[in-house]
Amino acid sequence: MGWFWADKDTTASTVAPKATTTSLAKCPVDHGKFKPASCPVVATESSNDELNPLNNMPYTISTQKAPGQTIDLPTEKTLSTIPRGTDANQGVWEYPSPQQMLNAMLRKGKGDIPEDAVESMVNIHNFLNEGAWDEILKWEEPYIRETKMEPRLEKFTGKPKQLTPRAWIYHQLSKVFPDKYNTELPFDRHDWTVLRSDGNGNWVPVRYVIDYYGGPEDEDGMPTFFLDVRPGLDNFTNAMDRFNHWKAETKPVWDKAMGQDGKN
């Protein structure tokens, strides 16, 4: 999850598909084939190569075939729809090519990656990142209307082994209410630093927390996903945004339960 590249300025020409974030399903990658059993996020790098602080990845990853590699993988990178940095001239974030992803995972010691699964893994993770950005834009909508400026993504950090407090609470509740809460822990967690315009030419960094959940396949046997996206509880503004978001989602349900039409 979150394999973005930032080694040169780009402008959008190819985009990844949109993700749905309203249903539950497992990640379609067979994580049992990998060690550790989680989506292949790069949060740190074991080599001594210089890391890009925006994504904790080396500035460049080779597009050459790895020693012993038996199949050819695409070397073309895909451009996301997610604006990068503080300036429009910085373009959008790039997703690494399947060959780069394989090379990066091999450098992380994940030598048992099935080569024929890498291309699908890239597509899946690009798909989910686009869905996460769509959810962030929904949170940012009040500020977009006010400032007439779209937010941008400054940087991100993968934290697959750090469980968020909300994910822990949901997991505990699932033991009592398994029909209401997902009994599986998130298969990934990210923190994204989003830049929000203050309307005066400045950017305000806002940390977003994203838990990636898996669940059953849909009625057509296709994988679906649930992304729990929300601002981190770092300040009063974020707390109020979360309260207002909760109120907006809860009030219609409450009004209906009370026999009201929600128009009053």
- 216-234 confidence digits (pLDDT tens): 777 777 777 889 999 999 9
17: its two tokens: 């598909």
Least confident of 24-28, 75-79, 168-172, 188-192: 24-28
Full domain range(s) for residue 129: 31-232
Give domain status of residue 8, yes or no. no
Report the pLDDT averaged over residues 182-208. 94
Give domain status of residue 9, yes or no. no
125: its two tokens: 């993770």
48: its two tokens: 């001594």
Report the pLDDT averaged over residues 21-49. 36
Q: Which of 225, 262, 227, 261 has its CA nearest to residue 247?
A: 262
Give domain status of residue 247, yes or no. no
User: Rounded to two decimals, what is the model's pTM?
Assistant: 0.75
Higher pLDDT, 60 or 24: 60
Q: How far is CA 81 from CA 25, 26, 137, 163, in A?
A: 24, 24, 12, 28
Number of structural domains found in the chain: 1
Give domain status of residue 254, yes or no. no
Give domain status of residue 210, yes or no. yes
Give domain status of residue 256, yes or no. no
95: part of which helix (H) or strand (E)?
Answer: strand 92-95
Give domain status of residue 258, yes or no. no
Higher pLDDT, 109 or 146: 146
Give domain status of residue 239, yes or no. no
